[in-house]
Amino acid sequence: MKKLRVLTTVLAMSIPVAVIMAGCSNGAETNQTAATSAPAASKAPAAPVKIEWMQVGWGTNVPTSDDFVKKELDKKLGTNLILTSPATNEDYQNQLNVRLAGGTPPDVYQILNRDSLLKSISTDSLLDLTPYLKTKLKPFADFVGEDTLNNDKVDGKLYTITKKPGVSSNSYWLRKDWLDNLNLKVPVTLDDLYAVAKAFTNDDPDKNGKKDTYAITGSGFDAFSVIYGAFGVGSPTPNNSLPEIYVKDNKMVSSLYDPNMKNALAFIKKMIDEGLVDPELLASTGQQYVQKAIQGKAGMGNFSWTDLAKDAPAKQIKEVNPKAEWMQIAPPKGPGGQYDLSVGKGTSFTLFGIPKALEKDTAKLDKIFDYINYISTKEGNRLVSYGVEGRHYTLNGEKVVPTDLLAKEGAYTWLYQVTGRPEAEYLQTKFPSQAPLIDFVQKQPRMTAYNGLLNPPADFVSADATRFIKEELSKFIYGKTSLDKYDEFLKNLETKFKYNLYLDGAQKRLKELGYTN
């Protein structure tokens, strides 16, 4: 499950969500002839209510032969749950846009970022859940918590089913066996990291007699997270979204305007010029960069512990090279500090919306609420977290004790965790051997980004601004545009894409919330 940020994370909707929502059948019609002619005791049972939802699966799909979570939920709730889970944010958004444009939205669907949320609200496309929180959605509200719900409200109203907050999963990793092969120490400073990167690229770290390795791989600009951190700046394109907004000396700062950003970009350019970086880094999609690490082509990068240390990738790594060993390291110290990927304050990492059209389909809406509430109870949450009691786990008092089948069959259950889970308990139970890795992640120093609290102005198009920023930054780090023209880039961003309006709104918002003077 991806990424650290509660920022969030990714692409804005490429078309407005303002579409005419078609009414959805509740799928629960009964046999009217039987209902009127037969005694009550012989009525045919109501058909299961079909509930369709979409979310990003990151390559995980529900099993086709034995989806035991669906079977148990459908039996308990009288539903027919159908999940579509495209592998990437891009694939998901494209498929969702087709559904929305065609007037056939899923009954529940993931909203990738706050910009998309605001667009949906402005077109009156989403159901306002606020009136239901103390009545029909009380178990959900109690489970997630008031603070989390308040973070996701817009103008005092809640339009999303929000996941209970999780914990960070990403940190910086490198090949320890490569360090050992080259008699190098774990890098502590930014200069150390640069020296190790040169050795990983030029000195045959895998000892195969070929110059076929490079140092850094990763997911786009996020691959340079610890370099930004070493210069004391936030990410300029976190998870392919707008530059991070943070606070220094009680004043709001956009990472692009931080005086140290040009120095960070110059350092990255130097590493690229010397061939230390995956040449396909900015073109990488999905989990391609993880596969490069697993296959021994790259020796360092920012990864989730799930990318390299879960059973499946760990097995792949050893199959490629039995001596391969990845290790986590603290972010290197630099002239501006020491920070790993930022932690976000504001909108939760995962949000789900319900089309407003379902307000009139009370039978279906009530079933959706039943599902949301049930998986927020102890019994239901254990099902979507661990599987079937007696098959995938047993109980010792209130403590969940996994069986061997949980590891073999339970990798997909998180797809049903629309409201989240008690994270610490879940990770300790399901991944006890990875507990030290998870604990290491939580201890790393991180900046706080406030993008999740911001409401972009209506005439500011986040997707267009983000695209321009990525294109121009790539020109800087690949030497196509001199960094002497950086101020010109900022001016164009303000005038052509109205980024100054976004910053003005951000400044006002953070001051209202008491984060700046």
Top-confidence residue, 151 or 233: 233
Give the pLDDT score at 6. 35
Spatial strand order of the sheet with 214-216 comes to 214-216, 298-304, 170-175, 326-329
Long-range pairs of 401-410 with CB within 8 A, sequence gap ≥ 24: 402/429, 402/430, 406/430, 407/311, 409/63, 409/66, 409/68, 410/386
Owner of token pair 């998180």: 414
The string of pLDDT tens digits covering residues 347-392 is 666 899 999 999 999 999 999 999 999 999 999 999 999 999 999 9
Rounded to an integer, the average pLDDT of 249-260 is 96
Quick one: average pLDDT of 450-461? 86
Q: How confident is the model at residue 458 (pLDDT cuts 50, 70, 90)?
A: confident
Which pLDDT belongs to residue 348? 64
- Tell me the pLDDT tens digit for each residue of 324-338: 999 999 999 999 999
Please give the share of the chain, as a percent, with pLDDT higher than 90.
Answer: 73
* Average pLDDT estimate for 159-188: 94
Strand 393-396 and strand 170-175: pairing?
A: unpaired
Task: Report how far residue 90's alpha carbon sits from residue 58's, in angstroms, rounded to the nearest whole number.
Answer: 11
Cα distance between residue 430 and residue 426, in whole Å:
6
Q: Are 475 and 433 in contact (CB under 8 A)?
A: no
Q: What is the pLDDT of residue 464?
A: 94
pLDDT value for 287:
84
User: What is the predicted pLDDT for the residue at 43?
Assistant: 55
Give how far Cα 169 sits from Cα of 106, 326, 372, Å.
29, 16, 25
- Give Cα separations from 321 to 178, 186, 207 (angstroms): 12, 21, 12
Mean pLDDT score, 443-462? 89
Q: Where are the alpha helices (DSSP H) in 38-152?
A: 68-77, 89-101, 114-122, 138-144, 146-152
Q: What is the predicted pLDDT for the residue at 37?
A: 35
Whether 43-165+349-418 shares its CATH topology with 170-345+448-512 is answered yes
Q: Where are the alpha helices (DSSP H) in 329-460?
A: 362-374, 378-386, 404-409, 423-430, 435-442
- Of the segments 16-25, 185-194, 302-311, 459-468, which one has the largest average pLDDT value? 185-194
> In sequence order, which residues have a C-beta less than 8 Å from that of residue 405 and are 6 or more positions away?
387, 391, 392
Q: What is the pTM of this model?
A: 0.76
Rounded-to-integer distance, Cα 69 and Cα 92, Å:
22
- Would you state the pLDDT for residue 76? 97
pLDDT tops 70 at residue 44: no
Give the list of residues 6+ apart from residue 183 with CB closer than 8 angstroms, or none.
none
Task: Please give the DSSP secondary-structure letter assigned to residue 347.
Answer: S
User: Band of the pLDDT at 346, cuts 50, 70, 90?
Assistant: low
Question: Is the predicted pLDDT of residue 42 greater than 80, yes or no?
Answer: no
Superfamily of domain 43-165+349-418: Periplasmic binding protein-like II (3.40.190.10)
User: Under a CB-based contact definition with an 8 Å cutoff, are residues 196 and 215 in contact?
Assistant: yes
Query: Which of 486, 369, 496, 451 is closest to 118 using CA atoms?
Result: 451
- Confidence at residue 191, expressed as pLDDT on a 0 to 100 scale: 98
Question: Which residue did the predictor score with more confidence, 131 or 18?
Answer: 131
Q: What's the whole-number mean pLDDT along residues 98-126?
A: 92
Pick left, alpha or beta for residue 31 (phi over 0 → left; psi -120 to 50 → alpha; otherwise beta): beta
Nearest-angstrom CA–CA distance, 339 and 174: 17
- pLDDT tens-digit profile of 414-423? 999 999 999 8
Helix (H) / strand (E) containing 340: strand 340-344
The DSSP H or E segment spanning 37 is helix 32-37
Residue 489 confidence (pLDDT) above 60: yes
Q: 233: closest CA among 317, 128, 308, 341?
A: 341
Tell me the CATH architecture of domain 170-345+448-512: 3-Layer(aba) Sandwich (3.40)
CA distance linking residue 268 with residue 192, whole number of Å: 14
Rounded to whole angstroms, the Cα distance separating 86 from 56 reads 5
Q: Which residues contact 305 (CB under 8 A, 6 or more apart)?
A: 169, 170, 171, 328, 434, 437, 438, 441
The predicted pLDDT at position 5 comes to 40
- CA gap 313, 244 in Å, rounded: 31
The per-residue pLDDT of the chain, averaged, comes to: 89
Q: Where are the domains of the chain?
A: 43-165+349-418, 170-345+448-512
DSSP state of 355: B
pLDDT confidence of residue 38: 37
Q: Is the pLDDT of residue 24 over 60?
A: no
Tell me: the pLDDT tens digits for 113-171?
877 888 899 999 999 999 999 999 999 999 999 888 887 888 889 999 999 887 888 99
* Rounded average pLDDT over 408-436: 91
Q: According to the per-residue pLDDT averaged within each range, which of 86-90, 454-458, 481-485 is highest?
A: 481-485
Confidence check: pLDDT of 285 > 70:
yes
Q: What is the residue whose two structure tokens read 């914990």?
A: 167
Pairing mode, strands 298-304 and 214-216 = parallel
Higher pLDDT, 88 or 247: 247
